[in-house]
Structure 1
Amino acid sequence: MRVLLLATLVNAFGNGAYLTTSVLFLTTVAGLSPAMIAIGLSAGAVAGVLAMTPLGYVADRYGPKRLSLLSMIVLAGAYTALLAVHSILPFALLSCVIAVATALVKGANGALAAGAVPAADRLRVRAKLRSMINAGMGLGTLAGSLPLLIKTDSGYVVILLVNAASFLVAAALLTRAPAVPPQVTPAGGPRLVALRDRPFLAFAALDGLLSSTYNDLLGIGLPLWLATGAHAPLWLISVALVINTVGCVLLQVRMSRGVHGLAAARRSALRGAVVVALACAVFAATAGRSPWAAGTLIGVAAVVHVLGEVWLSTGSWGIVFELAPTWAQGQYQGTYFAGRGIGDMIAPPLVTACVLGLHSGGWLLLGALFVLGGLLYIPVTRWAAATRPAARPEPVRV
């Protein structure tokens, strides 16, 4: 899987660089208004969510490696085509193409990682992939900051082309990855079985909300809190994000060790949710503190947050791998990411309303959400386990 890891690192580097400058490129080079950008990205988000599960099925049916290569080539062309965008309609269409192709990459790469290694190694490989994503995004963000210093349109164009090229380089690397044979749906069963799997849909919705929310705690909640509720400098946002990135890179693989089976994955997810809730309580405790004390507490909260995030994400992947049939890894991965997409729509207004509307009480409410969500993993995953073929009773211990 070294090839897949290297391809993921290269691709994440391009994505990180583009995300740093994307808004400025779209406003200054493409000439789009913020409202146009929001409409286009929203259209893409909806298209991506709707396409996740069907494209995951396609990846299972025709082989994930082949579909991953195709989607990367499409993404390289779609990002390059943004150079010709100057109005809302083509931008919205390209946003949909990018979102759908990205959905296919996620489902196909998940199925590729699941099918190319023994079942016992899947979680470790998935942890390594996330470490590569975080490392690549971090390095890409640094590269993308250079045009921000130069403040020229040509710099934004160069970063866009670097992102497009990263897909082609990643695709070239991926040609050397082992192929996973196409899977055949059992006779007499539904093709999109993941959409009929009600306990898995419940898990995907629950996990999608929690996962999107813990991401937005630092990306949205902390900046709003520093601007309105905490007496601490804004540069602490960067400190918290650096702690998060470094922590994910260094800890993700280590903390995935020993997580084998559905019960262990559930315990990891529950532990992570409770620890993220503790981080929310620490954020709430910064209210009314001196700048020094508030800054110290924010640093502590960032460390606690990344520990919870790593445990929670590890548990989530383990649950997906355990619940998905071998022949439907692609569509189950797609359904899982669709849950994340829905969560991405809910989490930003939720975090904003809690932090701006309820202040420190909002942080405590978010913490309560994580505790409740973590506890809900228990009945949801047991329900799912009971509906698997040849299901065996699980021990009561959680």
Structure 2
Amino acid sequence: MDMKRAVITGMGAVTPLGNNVNAYWENMLAGKSGAAAITRFDPINHKTKFACEVKDFDPLNYFDRKEARKLDRYTQYALIASEECLLDSSLDLKKTDLNKVGVILATGIGGIQSYEEEVLAFGQNNEVPRFSPFFITKMIGNIASGHISIRYGFRGINYATVSACASSNHAIANAFDQIRLGKANIVLAGGSEAAITKAAVGGFNSIKAMSTNNENAASASRPFDVTRDGFVLGEGAGLLMVEELEHALQRGAKIYCELVGYGAAADAYHVTATHPEGVGAELAMTDALADAKMQPGEVDYINTHATSTPVGDIGECLAIDRIFGETSKKVFVSATKSMTGHLLGAAGAIEAIATIKAVECNQVPPTINTKNIDPEIPGGLNIVLQKPVKTEINAAMSNTFGFGGHTVSTIFKKVK
């Protein structure tokens, strides 16, 4: 069977660094931090009092009051990113077979804010089980995908992927398969998350996963640094238009790059901790290279998962060192979570956008805040610190790993 080729023809983003793709990318190249004191709730009793929130966001700038009441924040972010993605793609819906347009929209936690609000309200008067009629449809993890398809009339494949922090990279990988198998002409793929809530912050604190460096919030996300103490929670959404190459060419679409391969595996090790030797990471990266029919030396840049957790960063770097060998000294490595924080189920989506922009613009975004690299991280890695690097980027890899041991790597390449 001849496999079809998949290209990226549109992107949309809502992030802690900017509420559209251009602002996100420009602030990333400028090395800005999205971390600041939490404003979503009063964190005075929480161990962590800061996060990477989406800034200057008012849902009423995008939705009328009645519609906004029916949508959890994670769905709001997804709809806003989908609109930008579609505008960016210049897709004419009137000339498009909407039966062949799908949506695969990931989330790690879904509408946790809506769930939290309803349950807390019920707890104050649990004699009568009064809940909003929108409670379930705001909370469930598939609803953002459903809303996008309903808004635009997309009748193709439609579902959500859930694999914790690997969720949106799984969505992109699934979209790739739909395109190359000929089951869809276009799939909007990505993820959305809005988990900066009392329960989520408290929960992550309880397993000691998040940084508690409250005095240095802006620089607390410091991947690879010997002083790192956990990830910084972020929020937002990212959407890619994954389109069959010939379909894109026929309609004269702008093409950012080609999605050429992915690998998905598991650590099979621990519920929250990644394998200390990066076993699952190595499998995912190796399979992605094989799927793309590429050699390690053909990859110019890796956007690492690197969340700033003591164990996770080391395992991923060890895996990179094993796979890339001598070429690891040439491939550029960075961790954009140093600026955005960790968007959980949306991390893979916004990091895919950063990776695609790196290919398009021939610039490697930096890792900020990192000053003293952990001596357990292989010394030969070419980690980009503080400032972006201008260099020819023909192909780039994006890694995401999640609680439960899920690992996914995707590869994007210039179209030739």
TM over 0.5: no
Ranked by relative contact order (alpha carbons within 8 Å, sequence separation 6 or more), the top structure is: 1
User: Comparing both structures, which one devotes a greater share of its residues to strand?
Assistant: 2
Greater share of helix: 1
TM-score by length of 1: 0.31
**What TM-score do the two structures reach when normalised by structure 2?**
0.30
